[in-house]
Structure 1
Amino acid sequence: MRIDSHQHFWRYTAADYRWINDDMAVLKQDFLPEMLRPVLQRQGIQHSILVQARCSLAETHWLLEVAESTDIVRAVTGWVDLSSADLQHDLEKIAHPLLRGFRHLVQDEPSPSAWMADAAINAGMRHLQQQEYVYEMLVTHRHLSDAVRFAQRHDRHFLVLDHFGKPDLHRGVAHWKQQVAPLKALTHVSCKISGLLTEPRPAGMSATDLLPWFDAALEIFGSERLLFGSDWPVCLLAEDDGNPWDLCQRATAALSADEQAAIYGGNASTLYRLQETSNEPASAK
């Protein structure tokens, strides 16, 4: 079973998705399961993990409803306010068999460093890990050192670094390796090899020039701690400059069948407990 570990759905409104700016016109529309299905079929991928795109309990409820209605989605990464005094009550309100993890748009915080160091956030994180929810870390290269310290504090359950930690492609792969090297020893941290095509690049850098970041990720995390993710539909911003499925296939072509199977589904199945998920939509039950 091949899994796309990172994709989004939304019904677009400018007020709800303020991070979609005028340079992202292709994203200013609805993206729903019937649009993703043929994309996955062309790539030989059967299922996906649906990830939040705004910090809203209402969106999490909606994502779970959408996930129930389709056989594509095997797990949902939602959102909850980790600093809330009502965290347990909120978790009970959104509890659902498909809800396997959470994420916050840390990169959009006024001070991501302060957010990750906040006492209430860290208390909430400990509470999530006690309940065995995966937590996805969305930061950029500017705050990878803070993310490393955050991960060191929270080792009671799985953490996932989204999109390679959004490397600074201008500074090269050696700089990124130095930033994430401490994560090699943190075996509870995995990395989604996703999102690289839409990171700002130096002039003239092609999709092929991104392959060294995949090699470095394999060196640091090993095939047993990497998960393929398309970041659809955000990946559409790359236009004709390549696509995430082809890029990852090229990056992993020399790996063994077992290593490729881990990256394309096995690791996601373990982290998000996908073996516990029925792929039968609620409408068919």
Structure 2
Amino acid sequence: MRIDAHQHFWRYEAAHYPWINAAMTRLQQDYLPDDLAPLLAQRQLQGSIAVQARQCVAETRQLLQWAEQHADTQVVGWIDVTAADLGDQLSALRHPRLRGFRHLVQDEADPAAWLQQARVACGIGQLQKHRYVWEMLVTWRHLAETTQFAAQHDRHWLVLDHLGKPDIARGARVWGEQVAALAALPHVVCKLSGLVTEAPHGSWHSAQLRPFIEEALARFGPQRLMFGSDWPVCLLAAEYHAVAQLIDDAVSALSADEQAAIWGNTAAQVYGLTGENNESVFAG
């Protein structure tokens, strides 16, 4: 199975996406499943995980609606994990295409404090009880606190988005040291995504970013890494094909099984994308 484990859809309204600033004109338009479909086909990708870009349940419902209409889409949505009625909200959102949830921890005034809240811990416990994946969107500044958080929540998969947004200028070795303790936790998986937009000033080249992929391979191993395009956000720095080719080139020396893990088999395992007879959920 070949899967893009991280992309976004939206109908663009400026008020709904305040993080899309005036300089991001490329993102100020609709990006919908029919726009992504030919890009997936060009890279022989069977399906994708549509990840939340707004912190509201309304967007989660919209993503699920699109997923119902497109057999190649599964969803990681948003829910308020601190809510007192989280159980009821989960029941109301239950859907066969809903694979997990994410919160924009990086945008909190104090990400470290947010991760340490008792209400957050209680909420993550409920999500893991229901076998939902939790995706961790943090930057390199809070990888230590993220490690403490992850160590406390080991009943189901946790996913580190975008390699924890490394400080590209400081180099891959520094990032490798920062992420080492988190990578040592066997229930934590990392997405090879978002690197091109982390490069300073949106300018990148393969030789600059490839060491981070190699460091991720050394720290997590191919069985706990997943390809993600971060489309359409990646368009701020690179076209879809260039993002996929960066990963393709970096993993080309691995065995066929190791490459297959990165290009989809790990995502299939983490998100539960096979049925009882190991058939793909994207088949129908």
Cα drift, residue 127 of structure 1: 1.0
Letter in 1 for 2:30: D
Q: How does 1:135-284 map to 2 (within 5 A)?
A: 135-201=134-200, 206-239=205-238, 243-276=242-275, 278-279=281-282
Q: What residue identity is the alignment partner of 2:91?
A: E
Identity within the alignment, %: 52
Q: Does 1:17 align with 2:20?
A: no
Is the 1:197–1:242 Cα contact (8 Å) retained in structure 2? no
Aligned-residue offset at 1:242:
7.8
Instruction: Give the partner amino acid of 1:225.
Output: R
Structure 2 counterpart of 1:238, which letter? A
In the other structure, the counterpart of 2:29 is 29
What RMSD over aligned residues (CA atoms) do the two structures have, in Å?
1.6
One-letter code aligned to 2:5: S
Retained in 1: the 8 A contact 2:143–2:182?
no
1:71 is aligned with what amino acid? A
In structure 2, do the counterparts of structure 1 residues 92 and 253 end up closer, same or farther at CA, with 3 Å as the change threshold? same
Question: Unmatched 5+ residue regions in structure 2?
Answer: none
In 2, the alpha carbon distance for the partners of 1:63 and 1:88 equals 21
1:110 aligns with 2:103: no
1:63 aligned onto 2:63? yes
Residue in 2 that maps onto 1:8? 8
For residue 107 of structure 1, what is the amino acid of its counterpart? Q
Distance 1:66 1:209 in 2: 36
Q: Measure the CA separation in 2 of the matches of 1:19 and 1:100.
A: 25
Letter in structure 1 aligned against 2:34: E
Deviation at 1:183, TM superposition (A): 1.9
* Number of corresponding residues: 280
Which runs of no fewer than 5 residues in structure 1 stay unpaired? none
SS in structure 2 at match of 1:103: strand
Task: Name the CA distance, whole Å, in 2 between partners of 1:227 and 1:89.
Answer: 32
Alignment match, 2:44: 44
Kindly tell me: are residues 203 and 154 of structure 1, through their superposed partners in 2, closer, same or farther at Cα, counting changes over 3 Å? closer
Offset of residue 145 of structure 1:
1.1
In 2, the alpha carbon distance for the partners of 1:45 and 1:207 equals 22
Q: Distance in 2 between matches of 1:96 and 1:9?
A: 18
Match in the other structure for 1:125? 124
Deviation at residue 113 of structure 1 after TM alignment: 0.8
User: Contact (CA 8 Å) 1:170, 1:202: kept in 2 or not?
Assistant: no
Looking at structure 2, the residues matched to 101 and 179 of structure 1 have their Cα atoms a distance apart, in angstroms, of 26
Q: 1:28 to 1:203 in 2, by over 3 A?
A: closer
The one-character-per-residue Cα deviations of 1:184-211 (angstroms, maximum 9, x if unpaired) are: 3200000000000000327975233110
Q: Report the alpha carbon displacement of residue 76 of structure 1 after superposing the two structures with TM.
A: 0.8
Secondary structure of 2:23's counterpart equals helix
Classify the secondary structure of the residue corresponding to 1:23: coil
